Chain A
Amino acid sequence: MYDLLCEGCGHRSAMMLLDEIIQEKKIKEKTILALDVACCSLLIDFVEYDSIMCAHGRVLDVTKGYKEMKKDNVVISYMGDGAAYSIGIEEMIHSARRNDDALTIVINNGLYSMTGGQVAPTYIDSSNLGFKIEEIISNFSITYLARAALSDKENINIAKQYISTAFDKYMEKGGFSLVELLSPCPTNYKLSPKDAANMINEKITKVYKIGEFVNA
């Protein structure tokens, strides 16, 4: 599945979860997948949904325009942490402020992976403090905000539960939902897939807490 992705890439786990959830909820025929650039764009030739390739950081604007015209469709805004929290943070904040009907999936691996692993605002070490979206948008009147990790079976089950909740909230209540998925990038971490996943469990989740932050 998703042949262009590297071995152990979190995008593969994330897309397989989305595929499962969309199948279980029987909503494939009304799903639109809006993708950001770079590694996200590697998915576009493989997904079975109507899909849109957006400019970097502009997925939430494109989905806002789409959703205003076709309210019955399920529009997934799928992006990496660079798009969501760096170049697209303005769009993210205003979409949350307006409580747009948005179903946002953020793949957070702390790096700009396609370009070779440069540090993103989410990167953490002694001089980089990271970027926690719950500290920015939790006070807006949004519908749902959660974080999970794509690091092992247990965490992936939690991720599926959160994403599924976000879908239900989006379809039943509307408003802004976001699930951030801590995601391994073995290629740029220069670790094996197993060690990359372990690093997320042992180091990343100590700073980026797993859980539901808003569930309105």
Chain B
Amino acid sequence: MKRLLNGNEAFAYGAIVAGANFYAGYPITPSTDVYEFFENNGEKYHVKFVHASSEVSAVNMIMGASIAGARALTATSGCGFSLMQEAISYMAADFVPCVILNVMREGAGLGDIPRSQGDYNQMTKGGGNGDYHSIVLACKSIRDCINMPRIAFELSEKYRNPVIVTYDSDIAHTKESVEINISEIKNDTNELDWILNGNKTNNPKRIQNIYYHDKGYDNNLRNKYELIEKNEQRYEEYETSDAEIVLVAFSICGRICIDVIKKAREKGIKVGLIIPITLYPFPQNAFKKLNCCKKIIIVELNILKQMRCDVEYYTKQKYEYHSINSMSTCPTVLDILKYIEEMR
């Protein structure tokens, strides 16, 4: 069935198709459509909805539901996402899966609600305390918003780690016509072997992150992130094999850059594009295949050039790097094209 959906509605439908069955949340713009969707439609699609009294409560509720075998999720933005960091760290340490949507807001503090990508560091480097990462998946289209919850739940269950899905408010509120098939819904509770259901075998299961006897804690965490970095890098690449200039951009910027390379190629400029889908693990493999690249332009919506630090680090600073970036003013196709032409 074809539907005209914005990114948030598409994400909610995608979560239902992926088997979500528990949502706890607290409203915050620009993610609130997801909250409202589950508030209004949760019962219809067999998703238990809870009005949490804060983002802190919401994220701890999804932790509890996940330990009972739920496919549990919440959605938030900006400062709401900050409030969830302690529990995300706990879930990473506890090996508890969950999916959290973070629709990024502009700036620091309360900031404002235009498009922005300033949460890059917070999402990819941790955000909470201690030695952990969240897996971070970025959507660049409404189609991605439909598909990403399934990938997110699969990865979170495979590695027993929180997965953050993210995009900016342009993706959240742009409407596109997309195909959805809600008849595929499976929202039974998981019965994975680590789920708690009472000690029936004289072998109690423990969801724990403090160990007085077990010495395996550090190795378990280290192995988890080594496996994720080795196996789960995801990206899209466009015309990179002969590209002398490679654009790197995610979410709305990635979307815009697809048009940039078409226009540039029409002008005979060899431009390629890498769109990271996983922001963590950073898709460093994408850069190993560049044969002719001399210059990299990172297009991102934050003033600190947050993703550029990762690009420079993972490519060992062997290219010439440029940034097109601002807090929330999205460059147009022509802006980027002009920059490329002047840069040459």
The answer on a CB contact under 8 Å between A49 and B60 is no
The answer on a CB contact under 8 Å between A70 and B69 is yes
The answer on a CB contact under 8 Å between A31 and B198 is yes
The answer on a CB contact under 8 Å between B65 and A69 is yes
Q: How many whole Å from B131's CB to the nearest CB in chain A? A: 17
Other A-B pairs beyond A66-B196, A68-B70, 10, CB < 8 Å: A42-B212, A44-B210, A50-B199, A51-B196, A52-B67, A53-B206, A55-B87, A65-B64, A67-B68, A94-B53
Please, which residues of chain A bring their CB within 8 A of the CB of B199? Answer: 28-29, 31, 48-50
Please, which residues of chain B bring their CB within 8 A of the CB of A67? Answer: 64, 68
B304 within 8 Å of A (CB atoms): no
The answer on a CB contact under 8 Å between B94 and A53 is yes
Please, which residues of chain A bring their CB within 8 A of the CB of B57? Answer: 58, 61, 90-91, 94
The answer on a CB contact under 8 Å between A65 and B205 is no
Interface residues on chain B, number (Cβ under 8 Å): 43
Give the total number of A-B pairs whose CB atoms are below 8 A apart: 134
Given contacts A48-B204, A53-B94, A55-B60, contact A65 B24 (CB under 8 A): yes
> Which residues in window 42-79 of A have CB below 8 A to B?
42, 44-45, 47-55, 58, 61-70, 73
CA A58 to CA B205, docked complex, whole Å: 20
Please, which residues of chain A bring their CB within 8 A of the CB of B24? Answer: 65
Q: How many whole Å from A134's CB to the nearest CB in chain B? A: 21
A30 within 8 Å of B (CB atoms): yes
B residues contacting A by CB (< 8 A) are 21-22, 24, 48, 50, 52-54, 56-57, 60-70, 72, 86-87, 90, 94, 189, 196-200, 202, 204-213
Q: How many whole Å from B102's CB to the nearest CB in chain A? A: 19
CA A52 to CA B207, docked complex, whole Å: 5
Q: How many whole Å from A129's CB to the nearest CB in chain B? A: 26
A155 within 8 Å of B (CB atoms): no
Q: How many whole Å from A177's CB to the nearest CB in chain B? A: 18
A residues contacting B by CB (< 8 A) are 4, 28-32, 34, 37, 41-42, 44-45, 47-55, 58, 61-70, 73, 90-91, 94
Please, which residues of chain A bring their CB within 8 A of the CB of B197? Answer: 30, 50, 70, 73
Given contacts A50-B205, A53-B209, A55-B60, contact A69 B48 (CB under 8 A): yes
The answer on a CB contact under 8 Å between B61 and A64 is yes
Given contacts A44-B210, A49-B204, A51-B206, contact A65 B53 (CB under 8 A): no
CA A66 to CA B69, docked complex, whole Å: 9
CA A11 to CA B22, docked complex, whole Å: 33
Please, which residues of chain B bring their CB within 8 A of the CB of A47? Answer: 204
CB nearest to A64 among chain B residues:
B61
The answer on a CB contact under 8 Å between A54 and B60 is yes
The answer on a CB contact under 8 Å between B64 and A64 is yes
CA A67 to CA B198, docked complex, whole Å: 12
Please, which residues of chain A bring their CB within 8 A of the CB of B72? Answer: 65
The answer on a CB contact under 8 Å between B65 and A90 is no
The answer on a CB contact under 8 Å between A51 and B189 is no
Q: How many whole Å from B20's CB to the nearest CB in chain A? A: 12
Please, which residues of chain A bring their CB within 8 A of the CB of B52? Answer: 61
The answer on a CB contact under 8 Å between B207 and A58 is no
Given contacts A66-B67, A94-B53, contact A53 B210 (CB under 8 A): yes
User: Can you report 17 A-B residue pairs in the complex whose CB atoms are below 8 A from each other?
Assistant: A30-B198, A31-B198, A44-B212, A48-B202, A51-B206, A54-B63, A61-B52, A61-B56, A62-B61, A65-B61, A68-B48, A68-B65, A68-B70, A69-B65, A69-B68, A90-B54, A91-B57
CA A44 to CA B204, docked complex, whole Å: 10
The answer on a CB contact under 8 Å between A55 and B86 is yes
Q: How many whole Å from B128's CB to the nearest CB in chain A? A: 10
In the complex, which of the residues B48, B62, B196 contacts A50, with contact meaning CB atoms closer than 8 Å? Answer: B196
CB nearest to A74 among chain B residues:
B198
Please provide the 6 A-B residue pairs with the shortest distance between their CB atoms, ordered closest to farther: A65-B64, A61-B60, A69-B68, A65-B61, A65-B65, A62-B64
The answer on a CB contact under 8 Å between B204 and A51 is yes
CA A48 to CA B70, docked complex, whole Å: 24
